[in-house]
Structure 1
Amino acid sequence: MSTVTPRTEGDPRPDTLGMRLAHRAMLRDARRLTALAEALAAGTATADPARGTAIGRYVADFCDSIHSHHSAEDDVLWPVLAASAGTHVDLAELSDDHAALDPLLARLRAAARAFAARPASEDAATALAVELAELRDVLDEHIADEEATVLPAVEEYVSVGDWTAVEARIRTRARLSFEAPRVAAVTTPDEYRRIAAEGGLALRLLLAVLVPPFRRRERRVFGAWVSSVPES
């Protein structure tokens, strides 16, 4: 974004619901994938080769989603927020967190590949559970920091026009077939009505196409533990 126009007192505030929902979906997957891997390691859940492959692929897509999200924050959001808020916000620590995620995601991808190759192995399931638990804990802390500092700063200093442009650029990086059903699943009924009203017919048609195959994918990975899209 070449030109930034900071929000001034009295201007409407940007709506950060989309970012909060993305964070919520990320945390949900981190927690349920960790719980699944721990159950596999303990022997209270099992995976045949087909399920092992499905779990490995889901974890890989989850890692890609996290990398895409945080890269978009670094490349798209941070420059706009820094230009809008100036000295009112310090993004150095959060940027360091993003850099620290790369080796963690690399280890998790490797553990997911190893598990997919040997889904009956207790050692492979344990290694996967350890890496997922570490990612879950890092995300819990990092996202809490972002929602306590970054999103209030966005609402205070970034103009609605600049935020709309930021969200549009971030969406171009997203793999909608993976992101949209996961975000829809974590909305409250009121939130779902809001995003459905804003997205209009195009969003409702998109979800109608993307959600059913994604739910089938979730059942292959998680079994019966799959939430439905809130009713409009």
Structure 2
Amino acid sequence: MTAISPAARELPDVNEMYVVHRVFRREFTALPALIRAVAAGDTARGAVVAEHLTLVLDGLHMHHTGEDEVLWPLLQVRAAPSTALVETMQHQHGVVESRTEAIREHEAAWTQDPTPAGGERLAHLVEDLASALFEHLELEEREILPLVTCHIAVDEWRKLFEHGKDTMTPRQLPLMFGAVLEDADPDERARMLGQFPIPIALFLRTVGAWQYRRYIRRVRAA
């Protein structure tokens, strides 16, 4: 498939990617301090922070597997001069996944016994992940999204959203979507909610929004 002039067709809404990336930048920046603030032996608070860490890691994994399954294969074929860039994206996903697995392994032990030393180690692992991830997100926004505009159709782009929606559990959906909408402006909120059937969008605006507010207050409690 050759590139079609963006002026000649409907364009995918690549701004959605910035909105989603905003969540990962915000939460992975905040999580190390939340982890370090857990007092020695406070398993109740440790469980709250660990649950949030798991949610954000699961959201990131879901986001990246969608790109692995939907986006990279299409760009490998259609954006031939940029295949090395796509390969860089795939390599960076591998680095992020490796650091994610290291976090998950250490998180399990820390949740059972939240010591200051264990918390410091976990916080460092999250910071290492954030360093690799933020580099990846910046490159993706700068180099990949222009390729998406040229080479990816709207219905193909929408498959990324469908992958995420279908992968999340019923508990995760309002929490992850609440996180996505937290810093969204009114136009971004309307466009993101507009991708759902009306009953689900109504749920996310009302009950789901309440669930997220209650959840995130507990996570960010001093």
Class of the TM-score when normalised by the shorter of the 2 chains: 0.7 to 0.9
Deviation at residue 19 of structure 1 after TM alignment: 2.1
Once the two structures are superposed, the pairs formed by residues 1-232 of structure 1 within 5 Å of their partners are 7-9=3-5, 10-40=8-38, 48-89=42-83, 90-119=85-114, 121-175=115-169, 176-197=173-194, 199=196, 201-202=198-199, 203-223=201-221
Number of matched pairs: 215
Q: Partners of 2:14 and 2:40 in 1: how far apart?
A: 39
Partner of 1:51: helix, strand, or coil? helix
TM-score (norm 2): 0.85
Deviation of residue 46 (structure 1)?
Answer: 7.7
- Is residue 104–residue 135 contact of structure 1 (8 Å, CA) maintained in 2? yes
What is the rounded CA distance, in whole Å, between the counterparts of 1:8 and 1:18 in structure 2? 21
- Structure-2 separation of matches of 1:154 and 1:47: 48
Q: CA deviation at 1:47?
A: 7.7
Distance 1:111 1:222, change over 3 A: farther
The residue type paired with residue 194 of structure 1 is R
1:17 Cα deviation from its structure 2 partner: 2.3
Output the TM-score relative to the length of structure 1: 0.81
Q: Distance in 1 between matches of 2:156 and 2:54?
A: 32
Does the 8 Å CA contact 1:6/1:159 hold for their aligned counterparts? no
Give the CA RMSD over aligned residues.
Answer: 2.4
What are structure 2's unaligned runs of at least 5 residues? none
Q: Kindly provide the amino acid, as one letter, of the partner of residue 211 in structure 1.
A: A
Q: Give me the whole-angstrom Cα distance separating, in 1, the residues matched to 2:197 and 2:61.
A: 29
- Contact kept, 8 Å, 1:21 with 1:183, in 2: the verdict is yes
Say if 1:86 and 1:170 are closer, same or farther in 2 by CA, change over 3 A: farther
Q: Per-residue CA shift, 1:174-213, capped at 9, x if unaligned?
A: 3423321111112123322333455473313233222222
